[in-house]
Amino acid sequence: MTAPADVGLPEPMPRDGGTPALPAPAPLSVPQHLRGHYAGFASRFIAFVFDCVLSIAVFEIVLAAASFASSVLTGTSIHWNRGNLWVVLAFFAWEFLYYAYFWTASGKTPGMQLVGVQVVGRDGSHVGTRRGLVRTLAFPLSFLLLGLGFVGILLGRDHRALHDSIADTAVVYTWDARAARLRFLAREGNGRR
Amino acid sequence: MAQGVAQRVIELVVEVLDVNALIVRIDLNAVLARVELNGLLGRVDLNQVIDRVDLNQVIDRVDLNQVIDRVDLNQVIDRVDMNKLMARVDINEIAGRLDIEALVKNTDLGALLASSSSTIVTEAVDLGRSHAVSMDDTLTRWVSRLRRNHTGRAGPPELLDAQEEP
């Protein structure tokens, strides 16, 4: 088993307790220490939306390039619609590769990186190739069950979705809220001087 | 009686003595060159010495600028084993006594910190994440209320245990 430190959480701190803080400025009035705590629904949803936009945008660009090349070489262009089975298959393959690569490699898709969350093993260890692949394969199941697979994020004690339960993973915050607060104070102090 | 007289004579001599004039006449670099500083530092209980000396009185009588001008500090520093010296200092205790937040807020360290991170992007990301976490907390509270004070677990136990280690 990999130590939690390998997951990119070098100095995780407890959410409760710690040193008494100064009155928190409005935009950062969130708990000071979040690293290693289960991520909630909103953070995960925002990360997912960002990933959707990014992956579809990249797919569209590649498809446009392929369509242009095809029209130049063969005289027929490729169109992105449900009727074109090859494009649909390519889209699902691309989505699979996108999530599988990021989850197995680092546990973080670009959207998760932006929001400051990460997929880890249920025990906090590195997600690894096997669990990353299982999670990617199980991910569509949460949609196919009319979205019921995501209810666990809201109602479960560990905020785990169906695909998390299947792959034995969890999603935690990797965001260092304390460093963010220090940056905020630094900017505030400089603005005043 | 002889001892009393001797003591009185010493007191008079000390009072008359011009410490600065004395220091001027001493080649401090030569003295320092002959002292084995590391050995000396290792044998001295500095805290005990400092406790017994009235530093303010000593400092009042010494022209520190003149002393500093005459000492080749680089040479002194070169001869001190910094690793050994640092090993004797409890950095954590010193750091624990610092008000980091006040330091960042009121010094150029803050400017450095702020300028070293690409501010606008970092600020926007911090703000977005803060809002996302606030929404997470709100949702968790609602669910907790709906499920009658159902409380979730904070995080994977191993990660949380690792956080509590020093």
The phi and psi torsions of A122 (rounded to 5 degrees) equal -60, -30
pLDDT tens, N- to C-terminus, chain B (166 residues):
777 887 888 788 777 777 777 777 777 778 777 777 777 777 777 667 767 767 677 767 777 777 778 778 777 778 777 777 777 777 777 777 777 767 666 666 666 666 655 567 777 888 888 888 888 888 988 888 887 766 666 667 666 665 554 4
More confidently predicted of A183 and B36: B36
Mean predicted confidence (pLDDT) in A36-59: 93
Nearest-Cα distance to chain B for A148, in Å, is 16
More confidently predicted of A36 and A103: A103
CB pair distance less than 8 Å for A125 and B155: no
Contacts of A40 in chain B (CB under 8 A): 133, 135-137, 139-140
A133: exposed, middle or buried (C-beta count within 10 Å: 0-12, 13-18, 19+)?
middle
What lies within 8 Å, CB to CB, of A127 at 6+ separation is A103, A104, A107, A119, A120, A121, A135, A169
Query: In the numeric block, which tokens belong to residue B132?
Result: 């996302």
Is the confidence at residue A49, as pLDDT, over 90? yes
pTM: 0.56
A116 Rama sector, left if φ>0, alpha if ψ -120 to 50, beta otherwise: left
Separation in Å, CA A164 to CA A152, A169, B67, B96, B132? 9, 5, 70, 40, 21
Count of CB atoms situated within 10 Å of the CB of B106:
15
- Looking at residue A130, its pLDDT comes to 94
Residues of B with CB under 8 A from a CB of A: 100-101, 104-106, 109-111, 113-114, 117, 119, 122-123, 125-130, 132-137, 139-140, 143, 147, 150-160, 162-164
- Looking at residue A50, its pLDDT comes to 96
Please, which residues bridge with residue A172 across strands?
A: A38, A118
A38 close to B (CB below 8 A)? yes
pLDDT tens-digit map of A100-135: 999 999 999 999 999 999 999 988 889 999 999 999
Taking a C-beta distance cutoff of 8 angstroms, is the pair B136, A43 a contact? Answer: yes
Length of chain B: 166
Please, which residues bridge with residue A121 across strands?
A: A169
Contacts of A113 in chain B (CB under 8 A): none
Taking a C-beta distance cutoff of 8 angstroms, is the pair A37, A64 a contact? Answer: no
- Looking at residue B69, its pLDDT comes to 80
Separation in Å, CA B78 to CA B27, B39, B70, B74, B91? 19, 15, 17, 6, 22
Q: Where are the domains of chain B?
A: 2-89, 119-164
Count of CB atoms situated within 10 Å of the CB of A167:
26
Q: What SS3 class is residue B117? A: coil
The phi and psi torsions of A38 (rounded to 5 degrees) equal -60, 135
Q: How many CA atoms, within 13 angstroms, populate the side-chain half-sphere of residue B98?
A: 11
